[in-house]
């Protein structure tokens, strides 16, 4: 019979090898998580077999050959029992060497067990121990036991003989010798290079310690109902209450050690009687213990247990393994049950797990036939037929067929195709390329920079590195979460925006102390932003609006206008369309701030690049083709991202900004009439000099005065500057007095600080990160040293010149937990990110406010 704890046992003198009692000096930082957990179970007065915990220090010394007092350890246990040793690392996720069971087995104890359990079971235990000791401790090749026949008398002698002949010494019979060898072998395994690398990959520090626990074996064997298993109170997939687990009964007319054939299930299972039926008392006790562990350890635990002759033993407890959905559900339920405070529930959910819940994902157990990979630019996964043009994507959507848009890279012309596709795959581009930004904005799975696949657009083929060819119409799956492209369809797991998620978001809002806005260009984006409780729109990129049906030709006409007067005339036609766009956005956002960025890209992005398109344009404008091609050639630039775009257009072609400003003001009057008053925010892109702001401000103020006059209405608006050139950051002190807000556009600011094209960086970024040139892709994780210094300089200089200036960030970094931490420390008022990243940003910000580290 196992000895239970004498709870009054004296605290051991030696903290390095201590009996686990309620008062023993045991901590996760010195003895590991398992030892600490077992102590908690002892404190709860659960039936835990006697256990001795060895500290990290003790194990370190063992690895160096300095053994602890083995006799003292053995003397903690009743004479003649078998022991097991298990690892106890500080964080259970860091792993450790496998457990070794049944230590102490020898001929004498085998005979004693014969009497209790019968010959078969006793010999089987012995045979297994010899083999596991030989392989795990003496490091023999498992092949040595290839010819051992079963676990009967013959098998046992063969195993012992095989051991002896390999090692030229008899199998150690002395239990203390066996224990010493096990401890040595486990301590050394932890020090091995591969074990070290493995745990470091899971976030363990280089010098992470290992504790060991030596526990009296509960064999789960006996004349009455006996067996062993695990039980948990929730489903690992959903996190919802559901008793699950597994129980292996040895009493069900089978050889107790013959594995899974006689597995019995805890619940009512057609394959055999449940534990509840076999041992109702033990089952009820087990449920009560599991409930107690949940409330006292403040966590959903999986209980490892054994039953001997109907008596229950709790061997261990580990955190229930859980999916992202279950992570949220469990944390929320523990808080709802008042087991943990809400702040702690928020701290328990790593922000990035939320992005998995927002999208369909490939099921973790799905088979993956990977045919290529690139940068995981927008999370979620989708399956569909390959299409190579935006028009084909739209046609496919019209037929109701899911499709994957495959492009060398995307441009604003592809927007409608992207909306029609289920996922996008590009050969070129980085994390802030067009496809990536739009993909994240509309929640479309996206892999960019898949340069290990060849995109042969002329043949409409995709060729993989190993020569497999995929043509238009073939089915592939794009996994924007991992960056992989798979052949064919795969098993998916649906998005899970359930009640638990909603509660977590509401609680995050209570704690958040930095604003979270969304980058939203369309009414659909704005609606998503509202659904995720964004506190306004931080960036509306207006250029996308000009690609909509019916507008592109007018836009091109405007670009081709010869005189300012002609240009104004064409813009008059665009005005009502823009006004309608903005009215819709203002109405959806119901009085929340909406920050509209004036036109940013170079105009030639709107012109056709191919012959057919140019011919169509010539027809539409009633101009000779040669005239059209000449004008297009004349407008092309060597380096468009550094050319005539942003505020430079605003200064040289002021009519566009004037039309946009008028549309914004008129829309705000419209929307204010229909609901909450709107105070629009207007943002000037790509500023690098104070004079640019002065010029644009003068012209917009004039438009405002005209609109006030014409409409006989007063209204307020806020004018701001996008700080996305290094010079704007450095000269923030002279820019800030002219504006109400400074919003840092870290995409362009990163591009210009590094002198690194955001559209081409994908080609070599992984080499750069692998070789340690950059710690991370700076377009993905804010470079706090370089770009960050410019942010700090800009913020300090801007604030010192204009203390009330609102500070924010609206580049893609705005949704990144580490960047939010930086912005919060620098005193920014809000961050703005893609609508689908708002939940991640909100939770990360709440965690920062609560004061913990982001997990
Ligand atoms: C930026 O440059 O950070 C930004 C938000 O603008 P865009 O990505 O449109 O250039
Ligand atoms: Mg920019």
Encode pLDDT of 548-578 as tens digits.
778 888 999 999 998 999 999 999 999 999 9
Q: Report pLDDT for 754.
A: 97
Backbone angles phi, psi at 417, to 5 degrees: -65, -40
Pocket flag, ligand 1, residue 538 (CB < 6 Å): no
* pLDDT tens-digit map of 88-122: 999 888 888 999 999 999 999 999 888 888 888 88
Residue 610 token pair: 């191919």
The answer to whether residue 14 scores a pLDDT higher than 80 is no
pLDDT at 580: 95
Do 512 and 849 meet the contact criterion of CB atoms below 8 Å apart? yes
Could you read off the pLDDT of 654-695 as tens digits, one per residue?
Answer: 999 999 999 999 999 999 987 788 999 999 999 999 999 999
- Lowest-pLDDT range of 476-490, 763-777, 831-845: 763-777
Examine the pLDDT at 4 and tell me if it is beyond 70. no
* Residues contacting residue 446 through CB under 8 Å, at least 6 positions apart: 377, 378, 423, 424, 425, 426, 435, 436, 439, 440, 478, 480
Regarding pTM above 0.85, the answer is no
Report the separation in Å between the CA atom of 747 and the middle of ligand 1, taken as the mean of its atom positions.
5
Residue 149 reports pLDDT greater than 80 = no
Cβ neighbors of 143 (< 8 A, separation 6 or more) are: none
Report the half-sphere exposure of 417 (CA within 13 A, side-chain side).
21
| Catalytic positions | 434, 810
Q: Give the per-residue pLDDT at 840.
A: 94
CA of residue 538 to ligand 2 center, whole Å: 13
Q: How far is CA 158 from CA 15, 128, 133, 261, in A?
A: 42, 12, 15, 25
**Tens of pLDDT, residues 390-427:** 999 999 988 888 999 999 989 877 888 998 999 999 99
Cβ–ligand 1 contact at 748 (below 6 Å): yes
Residue 751 CA: which ligand 1 atom is closest?
Answer: 2
Smallest CA separation from ligand 1 atom 3, residue: 745
- The candidate with the shortest Cα–Cα distance to 33, out of 318, 321, 331, 348, is 318
Ligand 2 geometric centre to CA of 745 (Å): 5
What is the best residue among 605, 722, 747 to mutate for testing ligand 1's pocket, by most ligand atoms within 8 Å of CB?
747
Confidence band of 284 (pLDDT split at 50, 70, 90): very high
Q: Is 356 in the pocket of ligand 1 (CB under 6 A)?
A: no
The structure tokens listed for 763 are 């080609």
Confidence check: pLDDT of 640 > 50: yes
Q: Give the residue whose CA is nearest to atom 10 of ligand 1.
A: 748
Residue 681 CB less than 6 A away from ligand 1: no
Give the length of the chain.
855
| Of 375, 507, 478, 416, residue with least CA distance to 812 | 375
Phi-psi region of 520 (alpha: psi -120 to 50; beta: other; left: phi over 0): beta
pLDDT in tens, 787-810: 999 999 999 999 999 999 999 999
C-alpha 749 – ligand 1 centre gap (Å): 8
The dihedral through the CA atoms of 706, 709, 710, 716 has a sign that is positive
Find the ligand nearest to 744 CA: 1
Query: What is the distance in A from the centroid of ligand 2 to the CA of 813?
Result: 12
Q: Tell me what pLDDT residue 262 has.
A: 36
747 lines ligand 1 (CB under 6 A): yes
Residues 728, 814: Cα–Cα separation, whole Å: 19
The token duo for 526 is: 């704005």
């Amino acid at each position: 019979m196992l000895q239970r704890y004498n709870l009054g046992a004296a605290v051991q003198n030696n903290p390095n090898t201590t009996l686990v009692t309620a008062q023993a000096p045991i901590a996760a930082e010195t003895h590991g998580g398992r030892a600490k957990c077992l102590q908690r179970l002892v404190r709860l007065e659960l039936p835990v077999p006697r256990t001795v915990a060895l500290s990290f220090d003790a194990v370190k010394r063992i690895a160096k050959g300095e053994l602890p007092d083995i006799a003292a350890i053995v003397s903690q246990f009743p004479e003649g029992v078998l022991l097991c040793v298990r690892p106890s690392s500080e964080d259970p996720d860091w792993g450790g060497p496998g457990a070794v069971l049944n230590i102490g087995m020898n001929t004498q104890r085998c005979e004693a067990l014969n009497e209790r359990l019968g010959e078969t079971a006793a010999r089987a235990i012995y045979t297994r121990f010899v083999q596991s000791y030989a392989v795990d401790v003496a490091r023999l090749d498992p092949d040595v036991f290839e010819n051992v026949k079963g676990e009967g008398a013959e098998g046992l002698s063969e195993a012992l003989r095989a051991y002896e002949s390999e090692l030229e010494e008899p199998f150690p019979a002395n239990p203390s010798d066996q224990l010493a060898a096990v401890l040595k072998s486990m301590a050394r395994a932890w020090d091995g290079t591969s074990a070290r690398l493995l745990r470091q990959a899971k976030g363990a520090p280089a010098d992470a310690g290992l504790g060991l626990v030596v526990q009296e074996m509960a064999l789960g064997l006996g004349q009455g109902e006996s067996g062993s298993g695990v039980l948990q109170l929730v489903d690992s997939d959903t996190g919802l209450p559901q008793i699950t687990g597994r129980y292996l009964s040895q009493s069900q007319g089978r050889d107790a050690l013959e594995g899974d054939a006689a597995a019995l299930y805890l619940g009512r299972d057609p394959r055999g009687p449940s534990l509840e039926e076999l041992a109702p008392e033990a089952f009820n006790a087990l449920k009560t213990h599991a409930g107690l562990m949940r409330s006292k350890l403040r966590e959903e635990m999986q209980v490892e247990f054994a039953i001997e002759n109907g008596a229950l033993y709790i061997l261990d407890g580990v955190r229930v393994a859980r999916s992202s959905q279950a992570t949220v559900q469990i944390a929320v339920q523990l808080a709802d049950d008042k087991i943990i405070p809400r702040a702690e529930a928020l701290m328990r959910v790593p922000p990035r797990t939320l992005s998995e819940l927002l999208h369909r994902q490939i099921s973790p157990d799905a088979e993956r036939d990977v045919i290529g990979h690139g940068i995981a630019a927008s999370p979620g996964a989708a399956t569909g037929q390959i299409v190579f043009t935006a028009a084909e994507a739209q046609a496919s959507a019209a037929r109701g067929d899911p499709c994957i848009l495959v492009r060398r890279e995307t441009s604003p012309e592809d927007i409608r195709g992207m909306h029609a596709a289920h996922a996008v795959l590009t050969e070129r581009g980085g994390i802030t390329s067009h496809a990536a930004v739009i993909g994240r904005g509309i929640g479309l799975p996206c892999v960019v920079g898949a340069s290990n696949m060849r995109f042969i657009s002329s043949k409409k083929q995709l060729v993989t590195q190993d020569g497999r060819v995929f043509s238009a119409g073939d089915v592939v799956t794009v996994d924007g979460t991992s960056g992989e492209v798979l052949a064919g369809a795969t098993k998916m797991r649906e998005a899970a925006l359930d009640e638990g998620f909603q509660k977590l978001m509401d609680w995050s809002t209570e704690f958040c102390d930095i604003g979270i806005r969304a980058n939203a260009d369309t009414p659909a984006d704005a609606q998503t932003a509202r659904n995720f409780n964004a506190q306004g729109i931080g960036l509306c990129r207006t250029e996308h609006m000009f690609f909509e049906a019916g507008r592109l030709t007018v836009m091109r006409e405007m670009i081709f206008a010869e005189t300012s007067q002609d240009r104004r005339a064409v813009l008059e036609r665009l005005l009502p369309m823009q006004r309608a766009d903005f009215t819709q956005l203002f109405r959806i956002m119901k009085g929340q701030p909406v920050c509209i960025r004036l036109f940013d890209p170079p105009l030639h992005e709107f012109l056709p690049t191919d012959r057919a398109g140019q011919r169509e344009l010539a027809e539409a404008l009633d101009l000779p083709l040669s005239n059209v091609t000449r004008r297009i050639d004349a407008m092309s630039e060597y380096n468009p991202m550094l050319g005539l775009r942003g505020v430079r257009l605003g200064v040289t072609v002021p009519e566009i900004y004037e039309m946009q400003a008028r549309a914004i003001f008129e829309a705000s009057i419209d929307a204010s009439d229909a609901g909450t008053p709107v105070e629009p925010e207007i943002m000037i892109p790509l500023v690098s000099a104070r004079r640019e702001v002065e010029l644009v401000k003068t012209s917009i103020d004039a438009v405002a005065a005209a609109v006030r006059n014409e409409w006989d209405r007063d209204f307020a608006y806020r004018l701001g500057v996008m700080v996305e050139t290094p010079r704007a950051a450095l000269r923030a002190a002279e820019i800030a007095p002219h504006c109400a807000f400074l919003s840092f556009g870290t995409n362009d600011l990163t591009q210009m600080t590094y002198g690194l094209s955001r559209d081409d960086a994908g080609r070599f970024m992984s080499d750069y990160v692998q070789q340690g040139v950059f710690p991370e892709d700076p377009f993905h994780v804010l470079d706090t040293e370089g770009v960050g210094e410019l942010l700090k300089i800009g913020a300090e200089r801007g604030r010192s010149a204009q203390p009330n200036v609102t500070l924010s960030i609206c580049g893609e970094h705005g949704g990144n937990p580490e960047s939010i931490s930086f912005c919060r420390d620098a005193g920014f008022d809000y961050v703005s990110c893609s609508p689908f990243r708002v939940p991640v940003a909100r939770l990360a910000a709440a965690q920062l406010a609560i004061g913990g580290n982001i997990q």
